[in-house]
Protein backbone atom coordinates (compact mmCIF):
# COMPACT_ATOMS: atom_id res chain seq x y z
CA UNK A 1 0.00 0.00 0.00
CA UNK A 2 1.39 3.40 -0.98
CA UNK A 3 1.48 6.01 1.77
CA UNK A 4 0.55 9.21 -0.04
CA UNK A 5 1.36 12.51 1.72
CA UNK A 6 -1.73 14.70 1.96
CA UNK A 7 -4.83 14.35 -0.18
CA UNK A 8 -4.90 12.60 -3.56
CA UNK A 9 -7.67 11.85 -6.02
CA UNK A 10 -9.08 8.32 -5.76
CA UNK A 11 -9.64 7.85 -9.48
CA UNK A 12 -8.79 5.40 -12.23
CA UNK A 13 -5.43 7.14 -12.84
CA UNK A 14 -4.37 6.41 -9.28
CA UNK A 15 -5.33 2.74 -9.69
CA UNK A 16 -3.35 2.51 -12.96
CA UNK A 17 -0.35 4.19 -11.33
CA UNK A 18 -0.32 1.84 -8.34
CA UNK A 19 -0.67 -1.21 -10.59
CA UNK A 20 2.37 -0.19 -12.67
CA UNK A 21 4.73 0.64 -9.78
CA UNK A 22 3.71 -2.25 -7.48
CA UNK A 23 4.03 -4.75 -10.32
CA UNK A 24 7.46 -3.30 -11.19
CA UNK A 25 8.68 -3.93 -7.63
CA UNK A 26 8.13 -7.70 -7.83
CA UNK A 27 9.07 -8.47 -11.45
CA UNK A 28 12.52 -9.32 -12.82
CA UNK A 29 13.66 -7.83 -16.14
CA UNK A 30 16.48 -9.12 -18.32
CA UNK A 31 19.76 -7.20 -18.34
CA UNK A 32 19.33 -6.02 -21.94
CA UNK A 33 16.19 -3.99 -21.09
CA UNK A 34 16.85 -0.29 -20.49
CA UNK A 35 15.36 0.85 -17.17
CA UNK A 36 15.19 3.97 -14.99
CA UNK A 37 14.75 4.31 -11.24
CA UNK A 38 11.49 5.95 -10.16
CA UNK A 39 10.38 7.29 -6.77
CA UNK A 40 6.83 6.06 -6.24
CA UNK A 41 6.03 9.02 -3.99
CA UNK A 42 8.15 11.80 -5.56
CA UNK A 43 10.80 13.27 -3.27
CA UNK A 44 9.57 16.77 -4.12
CA UNK A 45 6.30 16.06 -2.27
CA UNK A 46 7.69 14.09 0.69
CA UNK A 47 8.94 10.78 -0.71
CA UNK A 48 12.24 9.20 0.38
CA UNK A 49 14.98 6.94 -0.99
CA UNK A 50 13.86 3.80 0.84
CA UNK A 51 13.62 0.55 -1.11
CA UNK A 52 9.86 0.42 -0.58
CA UNK A 53 9.53 3.80 -2.37
CA UNK A 54 11.54 2.80 -5.44
CA UNK A 55 10.43 1.04 -8.63
CA UNK A 56 12.52 0.01 -11.64
CA UNK A 57 10.58 1.10 -14.74
CA UNK A 58 11.12 1.02 -18.47
CA UNK A 59 11.47 4.39 -20.18
CA UNK A 60 7.89 4.25 -21.42
CA UNK A 61 6.52 3.26 -18.02
CA UNK A 62 8.52 6.05 -16.40
CA UNK A 63 6.92 8.66 -18.63
CA UNK A 64 3.41 7.22 -18.17
CA UNK A 65 3.81 7.32 -14.38
CA UNK A 66 4.81 10.98 -14.42
CA UNK A 67 1.83 11.71 -16.67
CA UNK A 68 -0.50 9.88 -14.25
CA UNK A 69 0.87 11.79 -11.26
CA UNK A 70 -0.60 14.97 -12.74
CA UNK A 71 -4.02 13.30 -12.68
CA UNK A 72 -3.57 12.08 -9.09
CA UNK A 73 -2.23 15.16 -7.28
CA UNK A 74 -4.82 17.93 -6.60
CA UNK A 75 -4.21 21.47 -7.94
CA UNK A 76 -1.62 23.43 -6.00
CA UNK A 77 2.12 23.64 -5.47
CA UNK A 78 2.55 19.85 -5.55
CA UNK A 79 0.84 19.52 -8.93
CA UNK A 80 3.05 22.33 -10.24
CA UNK A 81 6.05 20.21 -9.25
CA UNK A 82 4.58 17.25 -11.13
CA UNK A 83 4.22 19.36 -14.29
CA UNK A 84 7.87 20.39 -14.07
CA UNK A 85 8.91 16.76 -13.54
CA UNK A 86 6.94 15.69 -16.62
CA UNK A 87 8.54 18.45 -18.67
CA UNK A 88 11.99 17.16 -17.62
CA UNK A 89 11.12 13.83 -19.24
CA UNK A 90 11.95 15.58 -22.53
CA UNK A 91 15.56 16.02 -21.39
CA UNK A 92 18.19 13.65 -22.72
CA UNK A 93 21.68 12.87 -21.49
CA UNK A 94 24.49 10.54 -22.64
CA UNK A 95 23.63 7.99 -19.93
CA UNK A 96 19.92 7.97 -20.84
CA UNK A 97 18.24 6.11 -23.69
CA UNK A 98 14.77 7.57 -23.71
CA UNK A 99 12.31 6.21 -26.22
CA UNK A 100 12.03 8.26 -29.43
CA UNK A 101 8.88 10.23 -28.55
CA UNK A 102 9.62 11.32 -24.96
CA UNK A 103 6.57 13.59 -25.00
CA UNK A 104 4.02 13.50 -27.77
CA UNK A 105 2.97 16.72 -29.48
CA UNK A 106 -0.56 16.42 -28.04
CA UNK A 107 0.67 16.13 -24.45
CA UNK A 108 3.32 18.79 -24.91
CA UNK A 109 0.66 21.17 -26.28
CA UNK A 110 -1.37 20.64 -23.10
CA UNK A 111 1.39 21.03 -20.53
CA UNK A 112 3.54 23.76 -22.13
CA UNK A 113 1.19 26.75 -21.43
CA UNK A 114 0.80 25.57 -17.82
CA UNK A 115 4.57 25.24 -17.31
CA UNK A 116 5.16 28.62 -18.94
CA UNK A 117 2.61 30.30 -16.64
CA UNK A 118 4.16 28.62 -13.60
CA UNK A 119 7.65 29.76 -14.60
CA UNK A 120 6.43 33.35 -15.14
CA UNK A 121 4.78 33.38 -11.71
CA UNK A 122 7.90 31.91 -10.08
CA UNK A 123 10.28 34.45 -11.67
CA UNK A 124 8.10 37.57 -11.37
CA UNK A 125 9.67 40.11 -9.05
CA UNK A 126 12.89 38.13 -8.61
CA UNK A 127 16.15 40.06 -9.02
CA UNK A 128 19.25 38.01 -9.95
CA UNK A 129 22.08 38.29 -7.45
CA UNK A 130 25.50 39.55 -8.54
CA UNK A 131 26.84 35.99 -8.32
CA UNK A 132 23.97 34.74 -10.52
CA UNK A 133 24.65 37.49 -13.07
CA UNK A 134 28.32 36.50 -13.23
CA UNK A 135 27.39 32.84 -13.79
CA UNK A 136 25.01 33.78 -16.62
CA UNK A 137 27.65 36.02 -18.18
CA UNK A 138 30.32 33.30 -17.96
CA UNK A 139 28.01 30.71 -19.53
CA UNK A 140 27.31 32.98 -22.53
CA UNK A 141 30.92 34.02 -23.16
CA UNK A 142 32.49 32.40 -26.19
CA UNK A 143 29.18 30.91 -27.33
CA UNK A 144 28.76 31.93 -30.98
CA UNK A 145 25.28 32.57 -32.32
CA UNK A 146 24.38 30.71 -35.48
CA UNK A 147 23.27 32.58 -38.59
CA UNK A 148 19.76 31.18 -38.14
CA UNK A 149 19.69 32.44 -34.52
CA UNK A 150 20.79 35.91 -35.63
CA UNK A 151 18.11 36.01 -38.31
CA UNK A 152 15.44 35.12 -35.73
CA UNK A 153 16.68 37.87 -33.40
CA UNK A 154 16.64 40.34 -36.28
CA UNK A 155 13.11 39.30 -37.28
CA UNK A 156 11.88 39.85 -33.70
CA UNK A 157 13.34 43.37 -33.63
CA UNK A 158 12.17 44.23 -37.15
CA UNK A 159 9.98 47.33 -37.16
CA UNK A 160 10.34 47.91 -33.42
CA UNK A 161 11.81 51.23 -32.26
CA UNK A 162 14.83 51.09 -29.99
CA UNK A 163 14.53 51.11 -26.23
CA UNK A 164 13.99 54.59 -24.81
CA UNK A 165 15.49 55.28 -21.41
CA UNK A 166 13.30 56.88 -18.77
CA UNK A 167 14.75 59.76 -16.77
CA UNK A 168 15.05 57.52 -13.71
CA UNK A 169 16.92 54.88 -15.73
CA UNK A 170 19.30 57.51 -17.12
CA UNK A 171 20.13 58.79 -13.64
CA UNK A 172 20.72 55.27 -12.31
CA UNK A 173 22.93 54.42 -15.29
CA UNK A 174 24.99 57.60 -14.88
CA UNK A 175 25.44 56.93 -11.15
CA UNK A 176 26.51 53.35 -11.84
CA UNK A 177 29.08 54.44 -14.44
CA UNK A 178 30.48 57.11 -12.09
CA UNK A 179 30.79 54.56 -9.32
CA UNK A 180 32.03 51.49 -11.22
CA UNK A 181 33.26 52.93 -14.51
CA UNK A 182 32.25 51.68 -17.95
CA UNK A 183 32.78 48.14 -19.17
CA UNK A 184 35.96 49.22 -21.01
CA UNK A 185 37.30 51.50 -18.28
CA UNK A 186 41.10 51.25 -18.33
CA UNK A 187 41.00 48.68 -21.14
CA UNK A 188 41.66 48.79 -24.86
CA UNK A 189 41.02 46.35 -27.69
CA UNK A 190 44.01 44.66 -29.28
CA UNK A 191 44.72 45.13 -33.00
CA UNK A 192 43.65 41.56 -33.60
CA UNK A 193 40.35 42.12 -31.79
CA UNK A 194 39.70 45.34 -33.72
CA UNK A 195 40.35 43.55 -37.03
CA UNK A 196 37.91 40.78 -36.07
CA UNK A 197 35.29 43.36 -35.09
CA UNK A 198 35.63 45.17 -38.44
CA UNK A 199 35.30 41.90 -40.37
CA UNK A 200 32.31 40.87 -38.29
CA UNK A 201 30.54 44.20 -38.80
CA UNK A 202 31.08 44.10 -42.56
CA UNK A 203 29.72 40.54 -42.73
CA UNK A 204 26.68 41.29 -40.58
CA UNK A 205 25.60 44.66 -41.95
CA UNK A 206 24.20 43.83 -45.36
CA UNK A 207 22.55 46.45 -47.62
CA UNK A 208 19.19 45.17 -46.41
CA UNK A 209 20.24 45.59 -42.77
CA UNK A 210 21.45 49.13 -43.49
CA UNK A 211 18.08 49.98 -45.01
CA UNK A 212 16.28 48.54 -41.96
CA UNK A 213 18.44 50.55 -39.54
CA UNK A 214 17.90 53.67 -41.59
CA UNK A 215 14.13 53.17 -41.53
CA UNK A 216 14.18 52.68 -37.75
CA UNK A 217 15.93 56.02 -37.20
CA UNK A 218 13.49 58.03 -39.32
CA UNK A 219 10.53 60.06 -38.13
CA UNK A 220 9.18 59.46 -34.64
CA UNK A 221 11.59 56.55 -34.07
CA UNK A 222 14.52 58.95 -34.11
CA UNK A 223 15.57 59.86 -30.54
CA UNK A 224 15.96 63.51 -31.62
CA UNK A 225 12.51 63.70 -33.24
CA UNK A 226 10.87 67.01 -32.28
CA UNK A 227 13.83 68.04 -30.12
CA UNK A 228 16.39 70.81 -30.62
CA UNK A 229 19.89 71.10 -29.26
CA UNK A 230 20.45 73.96 -26.85
CA UNK A 231 23.14 76.52 -27.59
CA UNK A 232 25.18 75.16 -24.72
CA UNK A 233 24.95 71.64 -26.15
CA UNK A 234 25.91 72.91 -29.60
CA UNK A 235 29.04 74.57 -28.19
CA UNK A 236 30.02 71.37 -26.42
CA UNK A 237 29.51 69.34 -29.57
CA UNK A 238 31.24 71.83 -31.87
CA UNK A 239 34.96 71.33 -32.47
CA UNK A 240 35.41 74.64 -34.31
CA UNK A 241 38.53 76.47 -33.27
CA UNK A 242 40.01 73.38 -31.62
CA UNK A 243 43.40 72.14 -32.70
CA UNK A 244 44.87 68.68 -32.36
CA UNK A 245 48.22 68.36 -30.65
CA UNK A 246 51.21 67.13 -32.66
CA UNK A 247 51.06 63.84 -30.79
CA UNK A 248 47.37 63.35 -31.68
CA UNK A 249 48.06 64.22 -35.33
CA UNK A 250 50.86 61.65 -35.45
CA UNK A 251 48.56 58.97 -34.02
CA UNK A 252 45.84 59.82 -36.55
CA UNK A 253 48.32 59.66 -39.46
CA UNK A 254 49.63 56.30 -38.27
CA UNK A 255 46.10 54.94 -37.91
CA UNK A 256 45.09 56.10 -41.39
CA UNK A 257 48.31 54.74 -42.88
CA UNK A 258 47.52 51.24 -41.56
CA UNK A 259 43.88 51.56 -42.57
CA UNK A 260 43.53 53.36 -45.90
CA UNK A 261 39.77 52.88 -45.94
CA UNK A 262 37.39 53.58 -48.81
CA UNK A 263 38.46 56.14 -51.44
CA UNK A 264 36.19 59.20 -51.63
CA UNK A 265 34.56 60.24 -54.88
CA UNK A 266 35.15 63.74 -56.30
CA UNK A 267 31.56 64.67 -55.51
CA UNK A 268 32.01 63.64 -51.86
CA UNK A 269 35.25 65.60 -51.61
CA UNK A 270 33.50 68.74 -52.90
CA UNK A 271 30.68 68.34 -50.37
CA UNK A 272 33.17 67.97 -47.53
CA UNK A 273 35.13 70.99 -48.71
CA UNK A 274 31.99 73.15 -48.94
CA UNK A 275 30.89 72.04 -45.46
CA UNK A 276 34.28 73.00 -44.00
CA UNK A 277 34.14 76.40 -45.71
CA UNK A 278 30.70 77.12 -44.26
CA UNK A 279 31.86 76.16 -40.78
CA UNK A 280 34.95 78.33 -41.03
CA UNK A 281 32.86 81.34 -42.19
CA UNK A 282 30.45 80.80 -39.30
CA UNK A 283 33.35 80.58 -36.85
CA UNK A 284 34.84 83.84 -38.14
CA UNK A 285 31.53 85.71 -37.86
CA UNK A 286 31.01 84.54 -34.28
pLDDT at 148 over 90: no
What's the chain's average pLDDT? 81
Round to whole Å and give the CA distance between 124 and 211.
Answer: 37
- CA distances to 71, 226, 228, 237 from 234, rounded to whole Å, are 69, 16, 10, 5
Instruction: Provide φ and ψ at 38, rounded to 5°.
Output: -130, 135
Confidence of residue 273 (pLDDT cuts 50, 70, 90): confident
What is the predicted pLDDT for the residue at 83? 87
Q: How far is CA 131 from the centre of its chain?
A: 17
pLDDT at 286 over 70: no
Residues 6+ apart with CB under 8 A from 72: 8, 9, 11, 13, 14, 17
- CA distances to 51, 161, 181, 228, 236 from 186, rounded to whole Å, are 60, 32, 9, 34, 24
User: Mind listing the pLDDT tens digit for each residue in 171-203?
Assistant: 888 888 877 777 677 778 888 888 888 888 877
- Does the pTM surpass 0.85? The reply is no
User: Mind listing the pLDDT tens digit for each residue in 12-51?
Assistant: 999 999 999 999 999 999 988 888 899 999 999 989 999 9
Amino acid sequence: MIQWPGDTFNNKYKRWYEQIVLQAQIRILSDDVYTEKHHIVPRSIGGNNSKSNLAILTAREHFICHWLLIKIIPPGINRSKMYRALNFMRAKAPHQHRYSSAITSRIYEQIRPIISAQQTERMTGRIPTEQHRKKMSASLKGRPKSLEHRKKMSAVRLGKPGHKWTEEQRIKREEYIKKNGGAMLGKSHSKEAKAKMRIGQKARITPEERAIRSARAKGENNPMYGRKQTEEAKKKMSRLGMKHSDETKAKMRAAHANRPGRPLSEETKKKISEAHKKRNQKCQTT
